[in-house]
A and B are shown apart, each in its own frame.
Chain A
């Protein structure tokens, strides 16, 4: 049976998709060895303006819609970095150009969620639950994915991390996920690392049903993190020195990304990671090659480049997906900004990625082609991108894939080939 046919069947029958326990893996046919394969998801909360990330400078509709915030054509002052003669990269993302040229970085333009909401909060929710339009879904698709992945070679310990102080919706569910604090605090010992203090609290939590297991998992994860980071501290030090020609990495995302890479490289039990970056809701004063959006993109580009360097050969087994809840209006508004739109660009980075290409069908920006007369139309469902990563990179078999994105219609799987066989 072809994948398409299977998914069609799965979508039609729905309830046939019986949930499998995490330990059911061993009973199924082993599909190659997924050990060491990793997925990192980075969510840009607030709806980044994808048209000014991977800019369709070859589409005349782009310049017609944006009198003051458009990026220049390649080779002009403040122009985009040409990608393929039609699309160009925002100049603040220059650190990523070598990855594009090396075939490790690709984009899917005009992708996104089929749900038409322009609420940030609903759109993020759908993208994290993996069930657009359905609010009742309790868990997040990355937690479901964790339940479907075979354990890494080295068993025990945490298998998924989230960088930041709260657990995101995408990880909601029954499988334990570790939080790694952002910033330098991630690698510093706390009061609880004093054995007398940590043990006293552990005794106290031992008898609490609701919080006890969370406490125990947290303590183990913290210990695992401290050990892995200690093992990688020399590398991290080197990376901080090497980045930006000896200058230290700027605070925030670049540092966190380098730290995450150190952790992943030194602990192959960790298979999934997630980070969120906010501040993309540019209703006013968005800027073009410089300004508000550029100031957000710069550390993102630096961070992804640092992550890639720090991962080294392990990047061959890693895929990073960058996504956002929806795009922004094609036309700029009256305040040098953009309002809530529809289609956007997804970024896919890693050794298995069929990079150096802007994937997806380009719907065009002429008035007649716009969604609702104002937004970039969507030609690729975000789930088909993620499903392909899960299938071809994480080697998830069909039944498990269908559990990841229930109700995902079969025709959406006809996504561009993003992952090399």
Chain B
């Protein structure tokens, strides 16, 4: 750092310095980036810098970095990460296998309360932890950080809840099959994939929704089905319009909700033995064959196609383009995103028939985003805070439990939001007294080297590992963190930290107000 830069840091908050140093957007396409620019995109496009990232982005330039992030297919995952992911037992199981295992475990627990219940708990725990492990490993270590942020965003947009029945088994499958492949693809494909996935069909009860008067056969499709399916359930139809597409003010009525629910009758779950295919099943017998009046037009009986047409129409609606654009801009730019940016994103959405890569390109190459004028103004969500801490620390992550526990304590358990609206990303939702204390506590534990993140998962229980101070990695050092985080930790903060005991300094870097913001 030059003396001039150091002096600047001493008098200005780091991010004020950033906006001063920032050049006009798009001035020189292939130019190397300043440190401030590199930090900004790493904090906004990625979950913050890992060691070496700032230098890499400075060398490649911002434009090149953003373009690469929009094309994750160019950058394969590192071999070590691939190997770790491949080592997980349950995350690649088919929908059919997961549903069968889940139901068998539930039945066994009923029959034999002693061993059956324990086996069931073990299965749930393994499935839950491995889904969490897969998500965390990629969020922390994948070079394709935008993809990871979008997986978080879209999972949240199409939220399902791990705590509800069958969905205990399906989080990894849902993320892998319904979310991840489409986050830079077409919105209609993403919408369709969530609509067909058993996790969504179960979560919002559509699997039970049937035409009036339908009587289920004595045995058959509904193994384990508890409720008598004898009528309409409008839960999914409502959230499909309110949350997934048009938005609550998108111009539909209660009648449209009921009519869409009728169009979606018969969309249910039927796992087929030995099949790797989807457990989605359209059951014509459950379908309401009457004529519907939906969003101003008559829909005649066309079986499954009625639902597909509804998804087509919802994906294409201008209200959807606007709703989605506003949410993306809120996630990436500001709690109250600039209306002009949202409007341009919505135009791109409509012009490209919902090409999400192009919508993201409009966002990430916009003057509103690139100006960096919102840099350092946002308070990280617990998820972002924890992931960015792990990235900055470069601690090997073989045991996800302490991280999953931490996220739960901070009010953002992974796959744990009960309602279909997903977590909020605004400051107001997360900035409170307890949040700061919990983050400082986590930072202190992480920096001490005692958080059992890198111990072998079954080596010993987490509590004994903590008691013995065996986190499996060396305590963190403030200097290494400074090298990674650069000027995002201000001179003022560094001065305050320098006056504190050496053993606390790394914790103070990660627990500093500077690191809580981005």
A interface residues (Cβ-Cβ under 8 A, vs B)? 45-46, 68, 117-122, 164-167, 172, 176-181, 185, 190-192, 196-197, 200-201, 203-208, 210-212, 214-215, 217-219, 221-222, 278-279, 281, 283-285, 333-337, 339-340, 372
Sample of 11 A–B contacts (CB below 8 Å): A166-B411, A181-B409, A192-B440, A204-B493, A211-B436, A217-B433, A218-B434, A218-B436, A222-B433, A284-B208, A284-B233
**In contact, A334 and B212 (Cβ under 8 angstroms):** yes
The CA-CA distance from A37 to B497 in the complex, in Å, is 44
A45, A164, A179: the one within 8 Å of B433 (CB): A179
> Could you say which residues of chain B place their CB within 8 Å of the CB of A196?
501, 504
A45 to B444, CA, bound (A): 34
Residue with the highest number of chain B CB atoms closer than 10 Å, among A166, A179, A185, A278 = A166
With contacts A200-B504, A214-B433 taken as known, whether A119 is within 8 angstroms of B411 at the C-beta atoms is no
User: Do A372 and B254 touch (CB < 8 A)?
Assistant: yes
Contact yes or no, B501 A201, CB < 8 A: no
Q: State the Cβ distance, B109 to closest chain A Cβ, in Å.
A: 17
Choose from B254, B429, B436, B499 the contact partner of A118 (Cβ within 8 Å).
B254
Interface membership of chain B positions 489-518, coded 1 if the CB is closer than 8 angstroms to chain A and 0 otherwise = 000110011011100100110011100110
Contact indicator per residue, chain B 427-448, by CB within 8 Å of chain A (1) or not (0): 0111111111110110011000
Contact of B229 among A197, A206, A335 (CB under 8 A): A335
Rounded to whole angstroms, the CA-CA distance of A335 and B410 in the bound complex is: 35
* Cβ of B230 under 8 Å from chain A: yes
CB B257 to nearest CB in A, in angstroms, measures: 8
Interface presence of B355 (CB below 8 A): no
- Write out the residue numbers on chain B whose beta carbons fall within 8 Å of the beta carbon of A190: 437, 441
- Knowing A214-B432, A284-B227, A339-B233, the reply to whether A119 touches B441 (Cβ < 8 A) is no
Docked CA distance A165–B215 (Å): 45
Whether B508 pairs with A204 at a CB distance below 8 angstroms is yes
Q: Which residue of B lies closest to A375 (CB)?
A: B254
Report how far A279 CA is from B161 CA in the complex, Å.
11
Q: Which of B396-436 contact A (CB under 8 A)?
A: 409-411, 418-419, 421, 428-436
The verdict on A222 contacting B235 (CB below 8 Å), with A278-B419, A337-B227 known, is no
Q: Is B248 an interface residue (CB 8 A)?
A: yes
Assembled-state Cα–Cα distance A68/B230 (Å): 12
B228 proximal to A (CB < 8 A): yes
Q: Mark B223-239, 1 if CB is under 8 A from A, else 0.
A: 00011111111110010
A178 to B435, CA, bound (A): 11
Q: Which residues of A contact B257 (CB under 8 A)?
A: 118
Identify the closest chain A residue to B236 (Cβ).
A283
Q: Is B210 interfacial (CB 8 A cutoff)?
A: yes
Residues of A within 8 A of B504 (CB): 196-197, 200
The answer on a CB contact under 8 Å between B434 and A192 is no
Quick check: A340 and B238 within 8 Å, CB to CB?
yes
Determine if A218 and B437 form an interchain contact, defined as CB atoms under 8 angstroms apart: yes
A276 to B: closest C-beta gap in Å: 11
User: How many B residues have CB within 8 A of the partner chain?
Assistant: 58
Q: A165-B411, A214-B432 are in contact. List 8 more A-B contacts (CB 8 A).
A: A119-B248, A121-B421, A165-B438, A167-B428, A200-B501, A215-B433, A278-B418, A284-B208
Complex CA–CA separation, A200 to B232 (angstroms): 59
Q: Are A335 and B433 in contact (CB under 8 A)?
A: no
Contacts of B438 on A, CB cut-off 8 Å?
165
Whether B434 lies near A284 (C-beta < 8 A) is: no
Contact A281/B419 with A118-B254, A204-B513 known, Cβ cut-off 8 Å: yes
Taking a contact as CB atoms under 8 Å apart, the answer to whether B208 and A68 are in contact is no
What separation, in Å, do the CA atoms of A119 and B513 have in the docked complex? Answer: 36
- B residues in contact with A166, CB < 8 Å: 411, 429-430, 432, 435
Q: Provide the residues of chain B in CB contact with A281, threshold 8 Å.
A: 235, 419
| Interchain CA distance A44-B204 in the complex, whole Å | 19
Please report the C-alpha to C-alpha distance between residue A204 and residue B504 in the assembled complex, in whole angstroms: 12
Q: How far is the CA of A164 from the CA of B441 in the complex (A)?
A: 17
User: Which residue of chain A has its CB nearest to the CB of B286?
Assistant: A334
CB of B238 within 8 A of CB of A118, answer yes
Residues of A within 8 A of B429 (CB): 166
Within 8 A of A (CB), among B451-502: 492-493, 496-497, 499-501
Q: Does B205 make an interface contact (CB < 8 A)?
A: yes
Q: Which of the residues B214, B248, B434 comes within 8 Å of A179, measured between beta carbons?
A: B434
- Name the distance in Å between B429's Cβ and chain A's nearest Cβ: 6
The reply to whether B411 and A207 form a contact with Cβ atoms under 8 Å apart is: no
Contacting residues, chain A, for B434 (C-beta < 8 A): 165, 178-181, 218
Determine the residue in chain A with the shortest Cβ distance to B427.
A210
| Chain B residues in 8 Å Cβ range of A207 | 492, 496
Report the separation of the CA atoms of residues A278 and B413 in the bound assembly, to the nearest whole angstrom.
15
